[in-house]
């Protein structure tokens, strides 16, 4: 059935999870995790990184996490803690796609929903944008509860949905994207994504001194180390500031022409189903991760 079969299966899973009562979430999450990873999920005594992400979904989905995962509300929090200069310029925010005045937007921009991950429309040239199609896609996303799209990431249900338009960022060689894995308020590793939307996705891990690591997370690594970002130390300190008070969070930044921009805060990294290789890295990552109340 190909892609259509995959979409149908995804829709069925979404509707099934959305119909559940809260007391049914643990059983459903175990079933979903087994299907995605082939592994049994231990929620009573989670040990590795993947299991602890699943535990956090069910038992630590707070309003604070929802607010900081909200791509609109988080801007005020980031402004307060590290400064407005790190925010990607905002062109507008709307409750409905029909309210967007596309004529008032610049020639390039990015549209995204605030209550999800990867629901973006990247517009490099507005003259080539199919506005009706864009509105239709945004309206579809706005009707969906992202919590049930990929493994019961419950905190997304607590977000009041909006559409936002931000400045389109780019470098000559593509957009540099740096993701800091933080544990108990301390950055531990950085990964750099290359070619996320090109079909040749590479994900390379570095320590805080930009030494390339010999493990991978779902995607292949580059054959050789990239040069460190110009603003590596600045980004590291910013990640440390934003990560304070959380057992685990991933803090993302972009670097454009030597300038740092905040990307997002992610508390359920890859929904906990991307695989580490070698597999023991899942246990090692889990050892850095102290669950609240455990």
Contact call for residues 253 and 261 (beta carbons, < 8 A): yes
- β-bridge mates for residue 182, sequence order: 187, 249
pLDDT at site 8 = 61
Q: What is the pLDDT of residue 10?
A: 84
Q: Are the C-beta atoms of residues 88 and 252 closer than 8 Å to each other?
A: no
In the structure, what pLDDT confidence band is assigned to residue 1 with cuts at 50, 70 and 90? very low
Question: Whole-angstrom Cα distance, residue 130 to residue 128?
Answer: 7
Percent share of the chain, pLDDT over 90? 83
Domain co-membership, 51 together with 180: yes
The average pLDDT across 284-293 equals 92
pLDDT in tens, 80-131: 999 999 999 999 999 999 999 999 999 999 999 999 988 999 999 999 999 9
Considering the domain architecture, whether residues 43 and 96 belong to the same structural domain is answered as: no
pTM across the whole model: 0.93
Q: How far is CA 79 from the centre of its chain?
A: 20
| Count of Cβ atoms closer than 10 Å to residue 163 Cβ | 25
Alpha-carbon 207 to chain mean position? 20
159 shares a domain with 197: no
Count of domains for the chain: 2
Residues 289 and 175 in one domain: yes
Measuring CA to CA, which residue among 210, 57, 207 is closest to residue 146?
57
Instruction: Confirm whether 15 is domain-assigned.
Output: no
Q: Tens digits of per-residue pLDDT, 255-276?
A: 999 999 999 999 999 999 999 9
**What span, in angstroms and rounded, lies between the C-alpha atoms of 134 and 197?**
18
In this prediction, residue 5 carries a pLDDT of 45
Range of the domain at 154: 88-169
How do residues 192-247 score in pLDDT, each as one tens digit? 987 666 667 788 999 999 999 999 998 778 777 788 999 999 999 999 999 999 99
| Domain C-terminal end among 169, 188, 210 | 169
For range 123-149, the mean pLDDT:
96
β-pair partners for 250: 181, 266
Number of CB atoms found within 10 A of residue 288's CB: 17
- The residues, ordered by sequence, that sit 6+ positions from 73 with a Cβ below 8 Å of its Cβ are 67, 114, 159
**Domain's final residue, options 169, 188, 212:** 169
Residues 6 or more apart whose Cβ sits within 8 Å of residue 13: 32, 148
**Cis peptide bond upstream of 278, omega within 30:** yes
pLDDT at residue 2, as a whole number: 42
């Amino acid at each position: 059935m190909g892609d259509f079969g995959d979409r149908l299966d995804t829709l069925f899973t979404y509707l099934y999870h959305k119909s559940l009562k809260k007391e049914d979430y643990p059983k459903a999450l175990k079933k979903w995790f087994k299907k995605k990873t082939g592994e049994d999920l231990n929620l009573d005594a989670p040990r590795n990184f993947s299991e602890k992400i699943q535990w956090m979904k069910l038992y630590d989905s707070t309003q604070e996490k929802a607010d900081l995962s909200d791509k609109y509300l988080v801007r005020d929090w980031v402004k307060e803690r590290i400064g407005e200069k790190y925010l990607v310029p905002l062109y507008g925010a709307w409750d409905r796609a029909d309210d967007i005045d596309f004529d008032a937007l610049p020639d390039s921009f990015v549209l995204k929903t605030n209550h999800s991950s990867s629901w973006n429309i990247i517009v490099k040239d507005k003259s080539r944008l199919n506005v009706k199609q864009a509105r239709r896609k945004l309206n579809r996303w706005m009707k969906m509860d992202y919590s049930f799209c990929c493994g019961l990431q419950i905190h997304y249900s607590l977000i009041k949905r909006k559409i936002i338009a931000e400045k389109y960022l780019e470098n000559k060689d593509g957009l540099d994207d740096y993701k800091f894995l933080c544990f108990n308020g301390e950055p531990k590793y950085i990964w750099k994504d290359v070619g996320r939307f090109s079909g040749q996705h590479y994900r390379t891990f570095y320590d805080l001194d930009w030494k390339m690591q010999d493990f991978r997370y779902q995607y292949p690594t580059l054959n050789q180390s990239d040069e460190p970002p110009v603003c590596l130390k600045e980004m590291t300190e910013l990640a440390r500031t934003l990560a304070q008070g959380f057992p685990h969070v991933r803090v993302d930044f972009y670097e454009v022409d030597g300038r740092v921009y905040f990307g997002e805060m992610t508390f359920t990294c890859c929904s906990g189903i991307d695989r580490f290789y070698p597999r023991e890295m899942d246990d090692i990552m889990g050892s850095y991760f102290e669950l609240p109340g455990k």
